[in-house]
């Protein structure tokens, strides 16, 4: 048994809930502190690639995730009218008999991870945050917004890209910056033809992507490159989205344009990025997930990286007797891998921002990224 008997996890997102479950499995008593309400979970969907599914499988979570979403293999490039230009199967890197990737609604994924974390024995405090952290040679004490004080051996900051813990412990200078791009996402009914990752391309270079989330649903995404973060007034969002879809004549996209309405899930997210240099720990506080590496989503891998972080941190805490040794090994195994994926995703983002976007160059980078992700963690 390693140096950690009890841990706090600040943030109950993908990384926080996965690490809570992973730690309980190795006998570490875990308390998750999440500022949001249990019922707050929103968001469209997320894609988990083979490397994320492989890590979820190691943690006993993959079957429940696959049941909650839609596994897929096909990557298809089509013109605006829906005619297939190229189609290929993604390699099944984690299990030859299971899908290469998974699409799932974020609230559903959050529920699966929460159920497993609590079943494994983790305690989750919703509507709660940390107001003060004091650490010494023997432990870390947290003061919570509900007035409680508690003590543990380790605090894991899984509080996302804008991590307050990172700011407090590592300094104000480590904050995300805008990458010059953002994405519109819109959840729609899925037709049979939206059977995997589908990219619809116009000769002008305009693109719409679609990713499956369940038997019935998928989401559409549009990337927007702007020097400043885009601001569209709420009452103009539907028209804005309809205009984006208008040039696409594939029947499923025409249907999607007709369904645009305030009751549908539509969101715009600018990409704020950060790659923390090593070390990711300071004393008894360690960073995990977006708090350590916030990527542009071109590699659809931020969530997968958080899941891998959770697996590796639990492995290192399990196999090392000393806390410092475990955290150094965790960072050594994770920092280089996350940085490579961050660099590739950001390079594609920068390429897409150019007026003359080199598609072959981007595709080459994407293939390089996928090959890299396939390598064992
Ligand atoms: C547009 C877009 C598309 C993406 N698509 C994909 C994709 O397809 N595949 C993929 O793998 N990744 C994708 N990502 C990345 C992915 O969403 C993130 O990498 C992932 O959510 C990171 O998980 P996390 O647990 O580290 O952080 P988060 O999911 O951000 O969770 C952090 C949690 O901490 C809580 N919190 C924050 N501050 C505090 C505090 N002070 N006290 C207590 N709790 C706090 C928050 O409420 C939240 O629940 C995408 C990202 C974007 C922006």
pLDDT digits (tens, 9 = 90+) for 89-139: 999 999 999 999 999 999 999 999 999 999 999 999 999 999 999 999 999
Phi and psi at 51, nearest 5°, equal -65, -35
Ligand 1 atom 52: the closest Cα is on which residue? 297
Asked if residue 194 lies in contact with residue 224, where contact means CB atoms within 8 angstroms, the answer is no
Q: Which atom of ligand 1 is least distant from the CA of 16?
A: 25
Give the Cα separation of 176 and 103 in Å (integer).
26
pLDDT digit string (tens) for 155-191?
A: 999 999 999 999 999 999 999 999 999 999 999 999 9
Q: Which atom of ligand 1 is least distant from the CA of 221?
A: 1
The rounded percent of the chain whose pLDDT value lies above 90 is 90
pLDDT score of 4 more than 70: yes
Residue 118: per-residue pLDDT:
98
Q: Which atom of ligand 1 is least distant from the CA of 11?
A: 34
pLDDT score of 358 more than 80: no
Asked if residue 38 lies in contact with residue 12, where contact means CB atoms within 8 angstroms, the answer is no
Q: Please count the helices (runs of H) and the strands (runs of E) in the chain.
A: 10, 20
Q: Which atom of ligand 1 is least distant from the CA of 159?
A: 34
Q: Which atom of ligand 1 is least distant from the CA of 47?
A: 8
Residue 101: per-residue pLDDT:
97
Residue 261: per-residue pLDDT:
84
Q: Where does the pLDDT of residue 40 fall: very low under 50, low under 70, confident under 90, or very high at 90 and above?
A: confident
Cα distances (Å, whole numbers) of residue 35 to 51, 79, 157, 164 = 29, 44, 13, 12
CA 261 – ligand 1 centroid, Å: 26
Burial group, residue 245, by CB count within 10 angstroms (0-12, 13-18, 19+): buried
CA 305 – ligand 1 centroid, Å: 11
Please compute the mean of the pLDDT values over residues 320-331 and round it to a whole number: 97
Measured from the CB, is residue 15 less than 6 Å from ligand 1? yes
Measured from the CB, is residue 11 less than 6 Å from ligand 1? yes
pLDDT score of 318 more than 70: yes
Please compute the mean of the pLDDT values over residues 52-67 and round it to a whole number: 98
Please compute the mean of the pLDDT values over residues 304-322 and round it to a whole number: 98
How many other C-beta atoms can be found within 10 angstroms of the C-beta atom of residue 89? Answer: 11
CA dihedral 224, 230, 234, 235 (to 10 degrees): -80
Ligand 1 atom 29: the closest Cα is on which residue? 13
Among 1-15, 23-37, 305-319, the range scoring the smallest mean pLDDT is 1-15
pLDDT score of 346 more than 70: yes
Taking the alpha carbons at both ends of the chain, their separation in whole angstroms is 23
pLDDT score of 255 more than 80: yes
Residue 355: per-residue pLDDT:
81
pLDDT score of 220 more than 90: yes
CA 8 – ligand 1 centroid, Å: 18
Give the Cα separation of 176 and 369 in Å (integer).
22
pLDDT score of 42 more than 80: no
pTM of the model: 0.97
Residue 1: per-residue pLDDT:
58
Q: Where does the pLDDT of residue 276 fall: very low under 50, low under 70, confident under 90, or very high at 90 and above?
A: very high
CA 268 – ligand 1 centroid, Å: 15
Task: Name the β-bridge partners of 15.
Answer: none
Asked if residue 185 lies in contact with residue 277, where contact means CB atoms within 8 angstroms, the answer is no
Q: Where does the pLDDT of residue 290 fall: very low under 50, low under 70, confident under 90, or very high at 90 and above?
A: very high
Phi and psi at 245, nearest 5°, equal -85, -25
Residue 304: per-residue pLDDT:
98
Please compute the mean of the pLDDT values over residues 351-369 and round it to a whole number: 87
Residue 39: per-residue pLDDT:
78
Among 128-132, 220-224, 329-333, the range scoring the smallest mean pLDDT is 220-224
Please compute the mean of the pLDDT values over residues 306-324 and round it to a whole number: 97
Phi and psi at 3, nearest 5°, equal -80, -10
Measured from the CB, is residue 34 less than 6 Å from ligand 1? yes
Strands (E), 215-300: 217-225, 266-275, 281-282, 285-287, 293-294
Q: Which atom of ligand 1 is least distant from the CA of 294?
A: 19
Ligand 1 atom 3: the closest Cα is on which residue? 297
Q: Where does the pLDDT of residue 8 fall: very low under 50, low under 70, confident under 90, or very high at 90 and above?
A: very high
Instruction: For ligand 1, pick from 10, 14, 287 the residue to mutate: most ligand atoms within 8 Å of CB.
Output: 14
pLDDT score of 357 more than 80: no
CA 13 – ligand 1 centroid, Å: 6
> Reduced to 3 states, what is the DSSP secondary structure of residue 178?
strand
Residue-range domains of the chain with CATH: 6-69+104-176+273-374 (3.50.50.60), 178-271 (3.30.9.30)
Q: Where does the pLDDT of residue 152 fall: very low under 50, low under 70, confident under 90, or very high at 90 and above?
A: very high
pLDDT score of 41 more than 80: no
Residue 135: per-residue pLDDT:
97
Strands (E), 162-280: 177-189, 197-201, 207-212, 217-225, 266-275
Measured from the CB, is residue 33 less than 6 Å from ligand 1? yes
Give the Cα separation of 154 and 137 in Å (integer).
11
Give the Cα separation of 114 and 20 in Å (integer).
9
- Cα angle, residue 214 at apex, residues 251 and 224 outer, rounded to 5°: 60
């Amino acid at each position: 048994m390693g140096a950690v008997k009890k841990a706090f996890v600040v943030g109950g997102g993908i990384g926080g809930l996965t690490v809570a479950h992973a730690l309980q499995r190795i006998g570490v008593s875990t308390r998750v502190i999440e500022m949001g309400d249990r019922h707050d979970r929103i968001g469209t969907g997320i894609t988990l690639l083979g490397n994320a599914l492989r890590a979820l499988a190691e943690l006993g979570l993959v079957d429940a995730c696959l049941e909650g979403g839609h596994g897929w293999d096909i990557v298809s490039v089509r013109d605006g009218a829906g005619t297939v230009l190229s189609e290929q199967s993604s390699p099944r890197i984690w299990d030859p008999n299971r899908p290469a990737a998974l699409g799932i609604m974020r609230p559903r994924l959050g529920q699966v991870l929460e159920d497993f974390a609590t079943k494994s024995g983790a305690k989750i405090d919703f509507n709660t945050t940390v107001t003060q952290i004091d650490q010494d040679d023997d432990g870390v004490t947290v003061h919570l917004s509900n007035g409680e004080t508690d003590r543990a051996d380790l605090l894991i900051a899984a509080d996302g890209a804008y991590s307050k813990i990172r700011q407090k412990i590592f300094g104000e200078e480590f904050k995300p910056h805008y990458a010059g791009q953002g994405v519109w996402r819109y959840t729609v009914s899925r037709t049979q033809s939206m059977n995997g990752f589908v990219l619809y391309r116009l000769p002008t270079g305009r693109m719409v992507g679609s990713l499956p989330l369940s038997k019935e649903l998928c989401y559409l995404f549009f990337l927007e490159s702007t020097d400043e973060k885009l601001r569209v007034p709420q009452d103009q969002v539907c028209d804005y989205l309809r205009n984006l879809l208008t040039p696409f004549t594939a029947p499923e996209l025409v249907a999607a344009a007709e369904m645009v309405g305030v009751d549908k899930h539509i969101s715009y997210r600018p990409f704020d990025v950060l790659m923390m240099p090593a070390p990711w720990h300071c004393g008894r506080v360690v960073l995990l997930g977006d708090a350590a590496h916030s990527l542009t989503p071109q590699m659809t891998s931020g969530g997968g990286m958080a899941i891998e972080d959770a697996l590796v941190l639990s492995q290192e805490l399990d196999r090392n007797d000393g806390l410092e040794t475990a955290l150094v090994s965790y960072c050594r195994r994770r920092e280089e891998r996350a940085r490579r994926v961050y660099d590739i995703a950001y390079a594609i983002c920068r390429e897409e921002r150019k007026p003359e976007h080199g598609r072959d160059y981007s595709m080459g980078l994407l293939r390089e990224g996928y090959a890299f992700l396939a390598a064992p963690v």
